[in-house]
């Protein structure tokens, strides 16, 4: 006889707001920000499925996780988490995601961090700390394809500093009593770690009443802009040295950022502080500019 019971439906994810540093009060819990793809795993009477953050069915791509979900001790659930590609040392490797999704899906790891539904009970109105307790009971020992996102309560700054030293992308902080609300929320926030790197200088943009901005490239390709924030006594000698190195606009720079830019010839390197894990530079500042030797 056909089962007429409706299947569980994808729930639009709760999305953390971006902040520059983690909360420090004790009513927050903190987790590692795993660099991967947001994923929702659903089990009901007809089996398990895996969905992307926008609700697309990616069960075939994540088939080992789907199989592992069907082995968990429950009749139905909705788990929120991140699909990641972990290196041997346990660090996420986003660059390995696509190849593993295509060729080695069994090497992907689903890091579970929230439980929205369990055996007919909607848990979204339960405090987060209680949902995570129920999640641990469901996925433990959590040392296989499905793992558990461990958290610390309070001590946000110390946790953030430890994550930064490990070379990870950042921290997600969540109010321990928060309910699950779809969409962007300030009850969950994310703070990314900072990174310092060297970039080729493409040009400098100056406009009255606005910060001086350097346009930079990574391996010859436009990477974004960074504020040249040094004080005037340092900044002006740098700008004067660039005056003698005028050049034409390089290829590959978006037209939206070219107005008012003084382009410079190759041979200058900018040391830039920026948020880790972004394709384009964000919240970036130039620490120094040097003329390359030779």
Residue 245 to residue 252: CA distance in whole angstroms: 20
The answer to whether 110 touches 147, Cβ cutoff 8 Å, is: yes
What's the topology of domain 194-291? OB fold (Dihydrolipoamide Acetyltransferase, E2P) (2.40.50)
Residues of the chain with CATH 2.40.50.140: 194-291
Q: What are phi and psi of 217, to 5 degrees?
A: -130, 150
* Tokens matching residue 91: 């660090």
CA-nearest of 111, 63, 109, 61 to 86 is 109
DSSP bridge partners of 114: 80
pLDDT for residue 1: 47
What's the topology of domain 14-192? D-amino Acid Aminotransferase; Chain A, domain 1 (3.30.470)
Q: Which residues are catalytic?
A: 33
Spans in the chain with pLDDT lower than 50: 1
Residue 205 to residue 225: CA distance in whole angstroms: 9
pLDDT digits (tens, 9 = 90+) for 158-201: 999 999 999 898 999 999 999 999 999 999 999 999 889 999 99
Per the rule left: phi > 0, alpha: psi between -120 and 50, beta: everything else, 19 is beta
The answer to whether 170 touches 200, Cβ cutoff 8 Å, is: no
pLDDT for residue 31: 97
The answer to whether 216 touches 223, Cβ cutoff 8 Å, is: yes
In this prediction the pTM is: 0.81
Residues of the chain with CATH 3.30.470.30: 14-192
CA-nearest of 26, 30, 6 to 170 is 30
Instruction: Work out the number of other CB atoms within 10 angstroms of the CB of residue 258.
Output: 13
Mapping DSSP onto H, E and C, the string for the chain reads CCCCCCCCCCCCCEEEEEECCCCCCCCEEEEECCCCEEEEEEEECCEEEEEECCCCECCCCCHHHHHHHCCCCCCCEEEEEEEECECCCCCECHHHHHHHHHHCHHHCEEEEEEEEEECCEECCCCCHHHHHHHHHHHHCCCECCEEECCEEECCHHHHHHHHHHCCCCEEEEEECCCCCCCEEEEEEEEEECEEEEEEEEEEEECCCCCCCEEEEEECCEEEEEEEECCCHHHHHHHHHHHHCCECCCCCCCCHHHCCCEEEECCCEEEEEEEECCCCCCCCCEEEEEEECCC
């Amino acid at each position: 006889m056909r089962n007429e019971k409706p299947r569980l439906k994808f729930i639009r994810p709760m999305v953390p707001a971006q902040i520059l540093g983690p909360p420090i009060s004790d009513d927050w819990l903190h987790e590692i920000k795993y660099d991967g793809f947001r994923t929702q795993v659903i089990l009901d009477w007809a089996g398990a499925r895996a969905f992307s953050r926008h609700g697309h069915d990616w069960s075939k791509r994540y088939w080992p996780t789907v199989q592992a979900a069907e082995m968990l001790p429950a009749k139905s659930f909705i788990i929120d988490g991140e699909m990641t590609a972990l290196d041997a040392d346990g660090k996420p490797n986003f660059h390995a995601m696509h190849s593993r999704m295509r060729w080695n899906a069994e090497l992907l790891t689903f890091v579970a961090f929230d439980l929205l539904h369990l055996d007919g009970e909607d848990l979204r109105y339960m405090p987060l700390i209680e949902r995570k307790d129920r999640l641990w009971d469901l996925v433990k020992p959590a040392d296989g394809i499905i793992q558990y996102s461990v958290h610390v309560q309070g001590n946000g700054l110390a946790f953030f500093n430890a994550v930064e030293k490990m070379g990870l992308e950042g921290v997600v902080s969540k109010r321990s009593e928060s309910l699950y609300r779809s969409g962007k929320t300030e009850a969950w926030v994310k703070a990314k770690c900072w990174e310092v790197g060297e970039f080729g200088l493409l040009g400098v943009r100056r406009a009255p009443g606005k910060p001086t901005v350097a346009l930079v490239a990574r391996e010859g390709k436009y990477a974004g802009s960074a504020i040249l924030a040094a004080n005037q006594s340092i900044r002006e000698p740098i700008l004067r040295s660039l005056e003698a190195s005028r050049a034409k606009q390089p290829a590959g720079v978006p037209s939206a950022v070219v107005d008012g830019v003084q382009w410079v010839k190759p041979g200058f390197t900018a040391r830039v502080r920026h948020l880790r894990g972004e394709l384009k530079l964000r919240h970036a500042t130039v620490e120094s500019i040097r003329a390359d030797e030779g």
